[in-house]
Amino acid sequence: MSTDPSSTEHAVSRILHRLADGEAGAASELLPLVYEELRRQAAARMRHEAVDHTLQPTALVHEAYLRLVRGHPEDWDNRRLFFGAAAEAMRRILIEHARSRDRLKRGGDRQQVVDCDPQEIAGLDPGEILAINEALDSLEQEMPDKAELVKLRYFAGLDEMAAAEVLGISRATAARWWMFARAWLFDRLKS
């Protein structure tokens, strides 16, 4: 198969449509086309996790992919929706992992999180990650487009340009949304 990005995007879209139609073999054809990008996103995301995090990027990709293909493939009309769903699946897995770790570490004072920049969240404990998740859920209820950007930037590890491309918006719009979402989350976490 050609390495041309547009031909890969078209191949991914065709396979996603076949998955939506219930074609069982399509899932095994999809993984080789999306694995490297999912792995890159997971590795970028895991760089922002605590040093003692026990979940590895490969395991995160595999778990997310399994959830995706067992879920609702009919919801993915295109590559953007698929990778958005992948970012959400990774976020949920990391939250579940944080909750599990939090159960093991119950008690103790929790330091309040006052920012949501991925570079500054590296050493957060599970309770802080859960607080961010709750704030993100609230943002998603009020402004789903901005919440999707946060998920792509933080949980999928995309930079501003890549997230803008996935969302089909300009880089300037992505920058404005990111600044707004960070301020909104900061305010929510502060209260």
Tell me the mean pLDDT in the region 66-82: 78
Q: How many CB atoms lie within 10 A of CB 142?
A: 9
User: 42 or 5: which carries more pLDDT confidence?
Assistant: 42
Specify the length of the chain in residues.
191
User: Could you tell me which residues come within 8 angstroms of residue 17 by beta carbon, excluding any fewer than 6 positions away?
Assistant: 77
The residue-averaged pLDDT of 14-31 equals: 83
Contact 84, 151 (CB under 8 A): yes
Percent of the chain with pLDDT over 90: 6
Half-sphere exposure in the Cβ direction for 52 (13 Å, CA) = 6
Q: Is the pLDDT of residue 145 over 80?
A: yes
Q: At what angle do helices 171-190 and 126-142 cross, to 10 degrees?
A: 120
What tens digit of pLDDT does each residue of 85-144 get? 888 888 888 888 777 776 655 543 343 433 444 444 545 667 777 788 888 889 999 999
Q: What is the mean pLDDT of residues 28-36?
A: 85
Instruction: Report the C-alpha gap between 53 and 76 in whole angstroms.
Output: 31
- Tell the residue number behind the tokens 């895991």, with chain if given: 46
Q: Are 159 and 152 in contact (CB under 8 A)?
A: no
The CA distance from 16 to 77, in Å, is 7
Q: Dihedral of CA 90/62/65/100: which sign?
A: negative
Q: Tell me: the pLDDT tens digits for 181-190? A: 888 888 888 7
Eight-state DSSP code of residue 21: T
Give the mean pLDDT of 38-47: 81
Residue 20 burial (CB count, 10 A): 15
The CA-atom distances, in angstroms, between 159 and each of 65, 121, 153, 168 are 21, 16, 6, 14
**Structure confidence by residue, pLDDT tens digits, 150-187:** 888 877 778 888 888 888 899 899 989 988 888 888 88
**Tokens linked to 125:** 């404990």
Q: Which residues contact 118 (CB under 8 A, 6 or more apart)?
A: 48, 153, 154, 157
In sequence order, the 6+-apart residues with CB closer than 8 A to the CB of 74 are 19, 20
